[in-house]
Amino acid sequence: MSKLFTLGDVSKQSTDKGGLIVIDKVVYDITDYMSKHPGGDDILIEVLGQDASEGFHEVGHSAEAIEALAEMKVGELDQTSAVLPKSQSRTGSVSVAHLLSAAGVVAVSLGAVFLRHQVQSPFSSGSK
């Protein structure tokens, strides 16, 4: 079974000197290849630690390039880490619900203060 990496792992295990990139959910260690890349190492430094699928496909790399890539495979992207934004948005809606209930509590408290004020008013005007 191949090793699983989250996008966080890929980023943490990379510097501007070398490390990992993701292409189509597969993780590659390109450290030794960077100086040999026909397209130069600058472009690879830019995508180190990230998902480079878009850039890789835009260039329209040859079959040789894809073969060379296969030799650098170290693992696969953890698919559960890719759905993280969804669970974050769920947390977001929970806090909206919390805000609404907090607003409800404030409204009820204000109502109570208002009612008490109404009840006390006759006394305070009477003592003047």
CB of 38 to ligand HEM, least distance (A): 4
Complex with ligand HEM: residue 10 or 69, whichever CB lies closer = 69
Q: Which is nearer to ligand HEM, 9 or 28 (CB)?
A: 28
Which CB sits closer to ligand HEM, 7 or 65? 65
Q: How far is the CB of 2 from ligand HEM (least distance, A)?
A: 17
Q: In angstroms, what is the minimal distance from the CB of 13 to ligand HEM? A: 15
With contact defined as beta carbons under 8 Å apart, do 56 and 100 qualify? no
Residues engaged in binding ligand HEM (CB under 6 A): 28, 30, 33, 37-39, 43-44, 47, 52, 55-56, 59, 61-62, 64-65, 68-69
